[in-house]
Chain A
Amino acid sequence: MFRHWKILLLMLAITLVPMTVLGQDQPVTLRVVGFVVPPEEIGTPLDQAYQDFLATFQENNPNVTVEALETPPEFDTQLLTDLAAGTAPDVWQQDGSTLARLIDTGNVLDMRQCLDVVPELSLDRFYPSVLNIHMPEGEDGPIYGLPNDFTPMVIYYNPLSFENAGVEVPTPDWTWEDFLDISQRLTLDAEGRNATDPDFDPENIVQYGYRHRHYVFEWIYWVWQNGGDVIAPDGSTVDGYLNSPETIEAITFLRDLVLEHHVSPEPVSLEQMTQQAGFLPVFLEGDVAMFPRGHWELVGLRNQSNYEPERVAVISNPSNVEEATVIYESGWIINNAVAEDPAKLEAACRLVEAATDMDYQLTKGISGVAIPANQAAAEQIAEETEFPELEQAFLEAVAAGRPPYGARFAIWPIVEQRLDLMMENILAGGDIQEEVDLAVEEINRELERAGQSGS
């Protein structure tokens, strides 16, 4: 009898061991969006980097075939349609600003499953504030995707404009008070008088200090810096937030930059200045000394015919009550359907691990559009780049970065449109309290409806 047990065990081992090994090496095909350049960029270093990455990944994972798909136009719409049809990719790159809507569909894998399957995928590699974008329920909650690359919003300035106005360039510890003072001294009329001069002529400005526009993605963090907010943390209301004293004070400060202190062009003037060639040549010429933007604008500026390195510098936002900026980010998302097949799940997790490790993340420096989400890669690029002080300014801003609200609230696009309109009306001379109250009423109607439907 005992001899029979041994034979049985032996047979079981002979059968199970190859099955387990075969299970791991089971051929898997992953459909992935995020590693194909548009046709006009074929043959560029970025294209080469993508191909090298895929070749290396497949070499290390011979059982996995990666079917790299081109990012279609109107990707968000296409993705929702594909998810409904069951033909969505297994892994894709997702703009963090629309993440909440996607999470709501229930199609995003909780990446904690990957941490179990691929132990080398450590969360320590990411900047905490960037990783936070993917953790809407806090540290103990699910992780919807992992960061790929990002940028905090910072302030670009033209050192030549500062020189022209005889103003010292700012330091990272600057405050709102410093910002206003610097902006006023940078704003010059045709006679060379700055905006602090009692004889300053606001009808004849030749150099502006700053560019403030109505788009909420460029001003929401000013509200945060003043200790205010525009919406409740649970997204249930804007009443008590958008109309709070702190928020009103921040909106007033921004409005006054345009209408009271004249340090920022009025919308009509700005449009006239930029209609022909866009804003960037105007900035590089020194007609506007500072403007808020993300890392991607470095690429745009370098492509201008009047670009010179000494005309571009970057600094983190000034603080008031607290330091704050917003981080715009793209992340890697795994389709929840992948979890049904353990082999596919492991392959997808391995792909995301490889796409966020140091080697691949260093290739983010090629395009320069965004900063690698991998801390070590970002710091190495910042050290090795031609203009380390620029990259350093971006990295210094990361700690104070907060998630974009599109990653928190599915209804944010509607709120965003209404806030844009509110600020547009205020900059056109509308009464702040009236415009804010109107926005509160209309947005709350929308939030109430969304709350009833559970969105």
Chain B
Amino acid sequence: MATANRTQAGVDHYVPAKQSLWKRFWSRSNERVGYLFILPSLIHLIIFVIIPLVFSLYLSFTDWRGPNFQNAPFVGLDNYEFLLGDRRYWNAMRNTAWYTILSVPGGMIASLIVALVMNQKLRGVYIFRTLFFMPVISSWVAVSVIWITLLDPNAGILNYVLRQFGIPPVNWLGDPATAMPSIVLISIWKGLGFQMVIWLAGLQAIPQELHEAAAIDGATRLQSFLRITLPLLAPTTFFLAVTGVIGSFQVFSPVYVITQGGPRGSTEVVVYNIYQRAFEVFDMGYAAAQAWVLFGVIFLATLVQLWYRRRQGEEVLF
């Protein structure tokens, strides 16, 4: 076959005979060994990720209300059709979007400021970095209890500070207007350390020479930050924006622990809604449909971000 190719083409170099993928796989012992190495992870992935994923998709076309899955009737697109008119679900989606709009830019700006300070050669900077990272590894329940105390309308330290400036106390978690911003504040505080570490990695990858050259050319520190630091941090910004949006759409713990969706449904977010449907009402089929619609929304939001990034002429990182 290889010879025939050579004759027909009239060229003198070797053209390998085409083999099927399967044959090529088995003819390379190194590749086979490689697959053996990843086999445990692959089995784990199949059993704990891919099968549940496919199962949940199938589930979303059934009306499974437990306990026996065998009795669950197949209802086609009924769950999705019902979801379109589910005012409560779309209210939760609106709240989730509001949470995302507040928390993603807010968290990124706050953590960038902290990272810029933590990037200085200061004495004890490692201790401060550790301190800022501590909320990340703390449990949500512990963090929530602390913040419920801080935000207490009567005895909370936040209202105490406001009172010192003559501002009347705010019922942070009890007022529908302030409950979601309070949750956002807590989430930003908790996630600050993680984002700070990513920013720090980005900042430390920027060559110092660029700042020095700019300084020699007479650039101020602000100009240097705006014209050099920020543009060179673009890949980090993009990474934090994408992961931040994905994470924010899945917010659950602070709502579950602190407000349970209240007051008056102002902090009811999509995942909390899914949790209630699935594990309080056992409406598993409908909850699965809700989860897949959430996936669609997150997927769409990520696509928009990727499209925007491409339009800017930057390479896509993922």
Contacts of B68 in A (CB 8 A): 83-84, 105
Task: Specify the chain A residue showing the minimal Cβ separation from B79.
Answer: A449
Q: Tell me the complex Cα distance, A414–B37, Å.
A: 48
> Which one of B27-35, B80-88, B106-114 contacts A?
B80-88
Shortest beta-carbon distance from A302 to chain B in Å: 26
CB <8 Å contact, B153 and A83:
no
B105 on the A face (CB < 8 A):
no
CB <8 Å contact, A413 and B63:
no
Neighbour of B263 across the interface among A267, A417, A442, A449, CB < 8 A: A267
CB 8 Å contact bits of A420-455 with B (1 = contact, 0 = none): 010011001000000000000010010001001101
CB <8 Å contact, B281 and A272:
no
* Residues 70 to 110 of chain A near chain B (Cβ within 8 Å): 74, 77, 80-81, 83-84, 101, 104-105, 107
Shortest beta-carbon distance from B65 to chain A in Å: 6
Q: Tell me the complex Cα distance, A119–B177, Å.
A: 62
Contacts of A83 in B (CB 8 A): 66-68
A276 on the B face (CB < 8 A):
yes
Q: Tell me the complex Cα distance, A411–B281, Å.
A: 7
CB <8 Å contact, A413 and B262:
no
B280 on the A face (CB < 8 A):
yes
Shortest beta-carbon distance from B10 to chain A in Å: 69
CB <8 Å contact, B65 and A453:
yes
Interface size on B, as a range, is 20 to 34
CB <8 Å contact, B66 and A80:
yes
A268 on the B face (CB < 8 A):
yes
Shortest beta-carbon distance from A440 to chain B in Å: 13
CB 8 Å contact bits of A282-316 with B (1 = contact, 0 = none): 00000000000000000000000000000000000
Contacts of B264 in A (CB 8 A): 421, 424-425, 428
Neighbour of B82 across the interface among A84, A414, A445, CB < 8 A: A445
Chain A CB within 10 Å, residue with most, of B82, B85, B264 = B264
CB <8 Å contact, B282 and A80:
yes
Contacts of B154 in A (CB 8 A): 272, 275-276
Q: Tell me the complex Cα distance, A271–B283, Å.
A: 32
CB <8 Å contact, A271 and B174:
yes
B155 on the A face (CB < 8 A):
yes
CB <8 Å contact, A442 and B88:
yes
Contacts of A84 in B (CB 8 A): 66-69
Contacts of A413 in B (CB 8 A): 280-281
CB <8 Å contact, A105 and B67:
yes
CB <8 Å contact, A268 and B282:
no
Known: A84-B67, A453-B65. A276 touches B73 (CB 8 A): no
Shortest beta-carbon distance from A411 to chain B in Å: 8
Shortest beta-carbon distance from B84 to chain A in Å: 11
B223 on the A face (CB < 8 A):
no
B75 on the A face (CB < 8 A):
yes
CB <8 Å contact, B153 and A272:
yes
CB <8 Å contact, B279 and A77:
yes
Q: Tell me the complex Cα distance, A101–B73, Å.
A: 17
Q: Tell me the complex Cα distance, A30–B265, Å.
A: 44
* Residues 233 to 270 of chain B near chain A (Cβ within 8 Å): 262-265
Contacts of A452 in B (CB 8 A): 78
CB <8 Å contact, B262 and A424:
yes
- The tally of CB-CB contacts under 8 A between chains A and B is 69
Neighbour of B171 across the interface among A81, A272, A453, CB < 8 A: A272
Task: Specify the chain B residue showing the minimal Cβ separation from A79.
Answer: B67
CB 8 Å contact bits of B84-119 with A (1 = contact, 0 = none): 011110000000000000000000000000000000
CB <8 Å contact, A417 and B276:
yes
CB <8 Å contact, A445 and B85:
yes
Known: A421-B265, A424-B262, A428-B264. A276 touches B87 (CB 8 A): no
Shortest beta-carbon distance from A190 to chain B in Å: 18
CB <8 Å contact, B279 and A455:
no
Contacts of B87 in A (CB 8 A): 442
Contacts of B67 in A (CB 8 A): 80-81, 83-84, 105, 107
CB <8 Å contact, A275 and B66:
no
Contacts of B171 in A (CB 8 A): 268, 271-272
Task: Specify the chain B residue showing the minimal Cβ separation from A420.
Answer: B262
Contacts of A445 in B (CB 8 A): 82, 85-86
CB 8 Å contact bits of B266-293 with A (1 = contact, 0 = none): 0000000000100111110000000000
CB <8 Å contact, A275 and B152:
yes
Task: Specify the chain A residue showing the minimal Cβ separation from B152.
Answer: A275
B175 on the A face (CB < 8 A):
yes
Contacts of A453 in B (CB 8 A): 63, 65, 73, 75
Contacts of A271 in B (CB 8 A): 153, 171, 174
CB <8 Å contact, B174 and A268:
yes
Contacts of A275 in B (CB 8 A): 152-155
Shortest beta-carbon distance from A424 to chain B in Å: 5
Contacts of A101 in B (CB 8 A): 282
Task: Specify the chain A residue showing the minimal Cβ separation from B148.
Answer: A275
Chain B CB within 10 Å, residue with most, of A276, A417, A425, A453 = A453
Task: Specify the chain B residue showing the minimal Cβ separation from A272.
Answer: B153
Task: Specify the chain A residue showing the minimal Cβ separation from B69.
Answer: A84
Shortest beta-carbon distance from A282 to chain B in Å: 13
Q: Tell me the complex Cα distance, A268–B178, Å.
A: 13
Q: Tell me the complex Cα distance, A364–B305, Å.
A: 62
Contacts of A442 in B (CB 8 A): 87-88
Contacts of B66 in A (CB 8 A): 80, 83-84, 105
Contacts of B280 in A (CB 8 A): 413
Q: Tell me the complex Cα distance, A268–B264, Å.
A: 12
Shortest beta-carbon distance from A250 to chain B in Å: 21
CB <8 Å contact, A267 and B174:
yes
Q: Tell me the complex Cα distance, A132–B88, Å.
A: 34
Neighbour of A414 across the interface among B78, B176, B263, B281, CB < 8 A: B281
Q: Tell me the complex Cα distance, A445–B155, Å.
A: 43
Task: Specify the chain B residue showing the minimal Cβ separation from A427.
Answer: B264
Contacts of A104 in B (CB 8 A): 65
Shortest beta-carbon distance from A335 to chain B in Å: 12
Chain A CB within 10 Å, residue with most, of B65, B85, B86, B265 = B65
Which residues in B have some Cβ–Cβ distance to A below 8 Å? 63, 65-69, 73, 75, 78, 82, 85-88, 152-155, 171, 174-176, 262-265, 276, 279-283
30 contacts between A and B (CB under 8 A): A77-B279, A80-B282, A83-B66, A83-B67, A84-B67, A84-B68, A84-B69, A105-B66, A105-B68, A267-B174, A271-B153, A271-B174, A272-B153, A272-B154, A275-B152, A275-B154, A276-B152, A276-B155, A411-B281, A413-B281, A414-B281, A414-B283, A417-B276, A418-B88, A421-B265, A424-B262, A445-B82, A449-B78, A449-B82, A453-B63
Top 5 nearest A-B pairs by Cβ distance? A84-B67, A83-B67, A80-B67, A453-B63, A271-B174
Given contact pairs A83-B66, A83-B68, a sample of 4 additional A-B residue pairs in the complex whose CB atoms are under 8 Å apart: A275-B155, A453-B63, A453-B73, A455-B65
